[in-house]
Structure 1
Amino acid sequence: MPGPLALSRSTVDRAADRRTDAAWLDSLWADGATRVLLVGDGTVPVDDEALRFVTTADAPDGERLLLGLDDDGVAYVAVHVEGKPDGGATLREVGAVLGDRDAGLAVHAIALANWHATHRFCPRCGARTRSEQGGHVRVCEAEGSQHFPRTDPAVIVLVVDEKERCLLGRSAAWPGHRFSTLAGFVEPGETPEHAVVRELYEEVGVRVTSCRYAGAQPWPFPSSLMLGYYATAAGEDPVPDGDEIAEARWFSRDELTTAMESGDVLPPSGISIARKLVEGWYGGPLPVEVSWR
């Protein structure tokens, strides 16, 4: 795939080996150099294509989420707040324009905050849970069981046939002319490669003959990890299931160019791994940019 994946960039050491050191975590909060990122409603505050931080003294109350340390030893901590912070923007809006450090911090913070928001209670007994280890564990207050942040693996696939055409589909939930690569969650006891084969047949009736891993990026909407694949298949007519996929079409490079330029097809957004998969097959940047906000 060409170029870096927008949400896979990071330069900060997560300091996972120090999350159990409560005294050290407290010392970070007492350090005036520590930078605090507010996160709420899936947004983080952004100014001029960079994250906006506050000091610990200016930070509001909320669960503290350790994001890590930079090369100079400066600590970054997120505080989970109710509602959208002032100047808050979503990753879809700013993920592609943030620098490497800020993109990694924003993805980490939003993914953790999304998990905390839906895991206030123990799935075993229903008692309340509390945040520990810098926000990377929740502990049941009744029976002490530990619960860890959830990540749901999903495959996202660009299929190419023997004529070098690619297969794109339109979700039944999407308006207009949006087309993208096909995707689906990995089921329990299943490998990603098996999921590629199953999903393509389930959604459009196409039988994959081979696939190869291309790359991955976190997709915290709310908690996925997208595993990108290129796959091959015979160019049989796709049969959309009508439930998840409303339309699916094979495109040559020339056909896709014409469809995009006419507005008949809106391609995947620049922040997505789907865009990179299509551009890898296309041979370079697509002639049309679009933001799916």
Structure 2
Amino acid sequence: MRHAETVTFGGSALDRAGEMRGDAAALKAALADPNTRAVVFWRGKPLIHRARPASLCRVPMDHPMLQGAMADAVLLGREDGAARFACDISHWMPEDLDADQLGGFLDPTEQRHPDAPEDSVFAELRRIMTWLSPRDAELAATGKAIFGWHDIHNFCAQCGAKSDVAQAGWQRNCPACGASHFPRTDPVVIMLITHGNSVLMGRSPGWPEGMYSLLAGFVEPGETLEAAVRREVFEEAGVRVGAVSYLSSQPWPFPASLMFGCQGEATSREITIDPVEIEDALWVTREEMMEIFAGNHATILPARKGAIAHFLLENWLADTLD
């Protein structure tokens, strides 16, 4: 697709400053530079200016919120020549925290730090991703993904010893056996499967009522993207797929996926779902999808804005998949 990188979390051309990650002197200078800023996270939620248009907060490195968080700051890159770090303050505990409301499909809660800039809150990225500019979205997705990786990789996978953060947050080294570990990204195919004038849609158990999306699944070791598309569609819906082509990709830090958007031509139409994999699947005509996108369908909701499924379906409807 000629405009593939206009998908959410793509296309900001961030300078990731990879050459700085192992340069102790450059990192020390960047941390002391008055132009350097930090993007702040709490339990995976980025700090944003709430007023529309919403924007990602960038605070000075000596900001009171960052006390106790500097040791594990992650270098995200550079903006206009100045370094940008991500800092995690999940050790902070809001006084009015209601734990029962956290962690839903689209966590609606917002947390306000007493030292945070005016009108700023911590908000769930999945909920606010379309509010942000491409650059803000990329910075937020990168920071969330890296901190999510650190949260579950504190120990060496080879020997079990506690590992140490290195390379400005982009590596963990084991002091016991010398192994090095790097951030993980899981490849996932998400498929725009068409048959004539219809597209194949499905829903997973536990999704909100009326929510359908394109079929998707993890790529297995030793498997091409094309093979993964055919296998996943047949496993989930019993539909055979012929020609497969790549369309676009999207980083998806929920928690650590890279979504490969693909188009496939179905060679069969009969649906036989695997109830372990999905709850339902159906063919939706182009005319029905237009009604769904307009919010006028009786039973099916539009795909969530910001997700690559919405992006692919929107371009299918507009005939701009080339």
TM-score by length of 2: 0.84
Q: Which residue of the partner structure matches residue 143 of structure 1?
A: 177
Aligned residue among 182, 191, 198 for 1:157: 191
Q: Which residue of the partner structure matches residue 288 of structure 1?
A: none
Q: Say whether 1:118 aligns with 2:152.
A: yes
Aligned residue among 78, 81, 84 for 1:69: 78
Q: Which residue of the partner structure matches residue 102 of structure 2?
A: none
Residue deviations 1:136-157, cap 9 Å, x none? Answer: 0011121221100000000000
Q: Which residue of the partner structure matches residue 67 of structure 2?
A: 60
Q: Which residue of the partner structure matches residue 117 of structure 2?
A: none
Residue deviations 1:213-255, cap 9 Å, x none? Answer: 0000100000000000011013522111011211111111122
Q: Say whether 1:132 aligns with 2:132.
A: no
Please give the alpha-carbon distance, in whole angstroms, between the structure 1 residues aligned to 2:60 and 2:269: 59
CA contact (8 A) 1:215 1:228 kept: yes
Please give the alpha-carbon distance, in whole angstroms, between the structure 1 residues aligned to 2:297 and 2:14: 43
Q: Which residue of the partner structure matches residue 310 of structure 2?
A: 275
Q: Which residue of the partner structure matches residue 214 of structure 1?
A: 247
Figure out how many residues of one structure are paired with residues of the other and give that number. Answer: 283
Q: Which residue of the partner structure matches residue 229 of structure 1?
A: 262
Q: CA deviation at 1:99?
A: 1.2
Q: CA deviation at 1:284?
A: 7.2
Q: CA deviation at 1:78?
A: 0.7
CA contact (8 A) 1:39 1:85 kept: no
Structure 2, unmatched stretches of 5+, are 92-110, 114-120
Structure 2 counterpart of 1:113, one-letter code: F
Aligned residue among 126, 134, 144 for 1:100: 134
Q: Which residue of the partner structure matches residue 34 of structure 2?
A: 32
Q: CA deviation at 1:106?
A: 0.6
CA contact (8 A) 1:40 1:85 kept: no
Q: Which residue of the partner structure matches residue 261 of structure 1?
A: 296
Q: CA deviation at 1:29?
A: 0.9
CA contact (8 A) 2:47 2:56 kept: yes
Question: Compared with structure 1, are the counterparts of its residues 174 and 31 closer, same or farther at alpha carbon in structure 2 (3 Å cutoff)?
Answer: same
Please give the alpha-carbon distance, in whole angstroms, between the structure 2 residues aligned to 1:283 and 1:31: 47
Q: Give the secondary structure class of the aligned counterpart of 1:168.
A: strand
TM-score by length of 1: 0.92
CA contact (8 A) 1:168 1:248 kept: yes
Please give the alpha-carbon distance, in whole angstroms, between the structure 1 residues aligned to 2:277 and 2:296: 26
CA contact (8 A) 1:40 1:113 kept: no
Q: Give the secondary structure class of the aligned counterpart of 1:242.
A: coil
Please give the alpha-carbon distance, in whole angstroms, between the structure 2 residues aligned to 1:255 and 1:53: 43
Moved more, 102-111 or 229-238: 229-238
Question: Compared with structure 1, are the counterparts of its residues 207 and 284 closer, same or farther at alpha carbon in structure 2 (3 Å cutoff)?
Answer: closer
Q: Which residue of the partner structure matches residue 180 of structure 1?
A: 213
Q: Which residue of the partner structure matches residue 99 of structure 2?
A: none
Moved more, 252-261 or 169-178: 252-261
Structure 2 counterpart of 1:216, one-letter code: S
Please give the alpha-carbon distance, in whole angstroms, between the structure 1 residues aligned to 2:12 and 2:207: 31
Please give the alpha-carbon distance, in whole angstroms, between the structure 1 residues aligned to 2:112 and 2:226: 40
Structure 2 counterpart of 1:66, one-letter code: L
**Percent same amino acid among aligned pairs?**
40
Please give the alpha-carbon distance, in whole angstroms, between the structure 1 residues aligned to 2:151 and 2:145: 10
Q: Give the secondary structure class of the aligned counterpart of 2:269.
A: coil
Structure 2 counterpart of 1:52, one-letter code: C
Aligned residue among 226, 238, 251 for 1:205: 238
Question: What is the RMSD computed on CA atoms of the aligned residues?
Answer: 1.8
Q: CA deviation at 1:179?
A: 0.6
Structure 1 counterpart of 2:81, one-letter code: G
Q: CA deviation at 1:40?
A: 2.7
CA contact (8 A) 2:77 2:83 kept: yes
Aligned residue among 67, 85, 90 for 1:82: 90
Q: Which residue of the partner structure matches residue 225 of structure 2?
A: 192
